[in-house]
Amino acid sequence: MVLILQKYEVDPTLAAVDRALEERAGRQPPRPYLGMSAIGHPCARALWYGFRWAVVVQWPAETLKRFEDGHRGEDVMAARLRLVPGITLLTLDPETGRQWAVIDHDGHFRGHLDGVILGLLQAPQTWHAWEHKQVDDKKLDKLERLKSELGEKSALRHWDRRYYAQAVLYMHYTGLTRHYLTVSSPGARRTTSCRINADPAEAALVAARAKVLIDAIQPPDRISGDPESPLGCRWCEYRDVCHFGAQPAFNCRTCRYSSPRADGGWRCARWDKNLSLDEQRRGCPSHLFLPALVSGEEVAADPDGSWVEYRLADGRVWRNGAAHD
């Protein structure tokens, strides 16, 4: 018997869908602040690169679809919670009509709550900050196992440090004393939850970490010197800049003349002006990379600040400046 295998080609329509998703995402501006949803990341250097827009991240369609699943899962979970008599779930701040927002460090550190909830059967008289996450089955199973082994109030800290940091910050800045996290598998078919108490000491530490990163002009130490490290370097979007000296993105945030202002904006010392977000993204002909973003030693500079010369790791000399790049 001869087995004939039919060759299936890629569906051109679905391939076009993926390209459209990626193109749409590529038109989105970078986040202008350090997010409370990210500050628990184990690598402070990656957070600094993100705040400084060191890389223009191009997410593949597969990742963008996971993001979409998470956003839609939040709406699905909110609707399900509201089916329970006695539950009040507010996903918008009544005073603004927009998502609940918390802000610190002159506006450079921000977070947005999924909602606040009252009437949980476990604690019906207490308002909770509410967040929803959509994760794969393996990660969901791990949370359920940790709840069984450590107890619900201790599980979140050991399950995901980023989610824990986000939770304690949201309680800290809203004045709430409880946090209710719902977690679903893709498509929201399976759901578990985790309820924790406020942790003022941890919130203060995380907020202080954010302040250090916002003010820093030097990147923090790497989480590992190995670009293949399982700690996260292997999959990090900043890997090439961090470990291999790739040139970072061109914008005001990677320029030595710009710095965050006390009102949440950015200022250019070269031209003594405040910078709009559009100006920050575009950069200008006088852009000079932050020295810490150049893989080499500074050996000379123009007195008027128009160029800087570096000796690179391979011995070549490179002049960074408008007339030389």
The tens digit of pLDDT for each residue in 142-151 reads 999 999 999 9
In a domain, 273, yes or no: yes
* Residue 2: pLDDT band with limits 50, 70, 90: very low
**Structure token digits, residue 276:** 């709009």
State whether 77 and 128 are in the same domain. yes
Structural domain for 155, as ranges: 32-215
Q: Comparing 220 with 296, which gets the higher pLDDT?
A: 220
In a domain, 308, yes or no: yes
In a domain, 230, yes or no: no
Please report, rounded to a whole number, the percentage of residues in the chain having pLDDT higher than 90: 82
State whether 275 and 178 are in the same domain. no
Check which CATH number belongs to the domain holding 138 and give it. 3.90.320.10
The region of weakest confidence among 168-172, 213-217, 293-297 is 293-297
Whole-structure pTM value: 0.91
Among residues 191, 215, 239, the one where a domain terminates is 215
State whether 90 and 157 are in the same domain. yes
In a domain, 261, yes or no: yes
**Structure token digits, residue 94:** 């009544």
In a domain, 23, yes or no: no
pLDDT of residue 289 exceeding 80, the answer is yes
Euclidean distance between CA atoms 50 and 243, whole angstroms: 15
Please give the tally of structural domains in the chain. Answer: 2
CA dist 264 → 33, 111, 170, 241, 289 (Å): 8, 14, 20, 26, 22
Among residues 215, 235, 258, the one where a domain terminates is 215
State whether 159 and 285 are in the same domain. no
State whether 300 and 159 are in the same domain. no
State whether 144 and 272 are in the same domain. no
State whether 192 and 305 are in the same domain. no
Task: Give me the pLDDT at residue 200, please.
Answer: 98
- Given a contact cutoff of 8 angstroms between Cβ atoms, the answer to whether 161 and 42 are in contact is yes
In a domain, 192, yes or no: yes
State whether 36 and 176 are in the same domain. yes
State whether 287 and 208 are in the same domain. no
State whether 255 and 178 are in the same domain. no
Which residues, in sequence order, are bridge partners of residue 102?
A: 111
In a domain, 168, yes or no: yes
Helix, strand, coil percentages in the chain from 3-state DSSP, rounded to 5 = 40, 20, 40
Among residues 200, 215, 230, the one where a domain terminates is 215
> Any idea what DSSP says for residue 255?
B
pLDDT digits (tens, 9 = 90+) for 248-282: 999 999 999 999 999 899 999 999 999 999 999 99
Task: Name the helix (H) or strand (E) containing 243.
Answer: helix 239-244
Angle of helix 200-215 relative to helix 44-51, nearest 10 degrees? 50
Task: Give me the pLDDT at residue 6, please.
Answer: 52
State whether 204 and 272 are in the same domain. no
Which of 163-172, 280-289, 302-311 is most confident?
163-172
In a domain, 232, yes or no: no
pLDDT of residue 215 exceeding 70, the answer is yes
Which of 19-28, 62-71, 152-161 is most confident?
152-161
Q: Which residue, 215, 213, 233, 236, is CA-closest to 224? A: 233
Q: Which amino acid is at 180?
A: Y
Strand order in the sheet with 34-35: 34-35, 109-112, 101-104
Task: Give me the pLDDT at residue 243, please.
Answer: 94
Task: Give me the pLDDT at residue 231, please.
Answer: 85
State whether 42 and 175 are in the same domain. yes
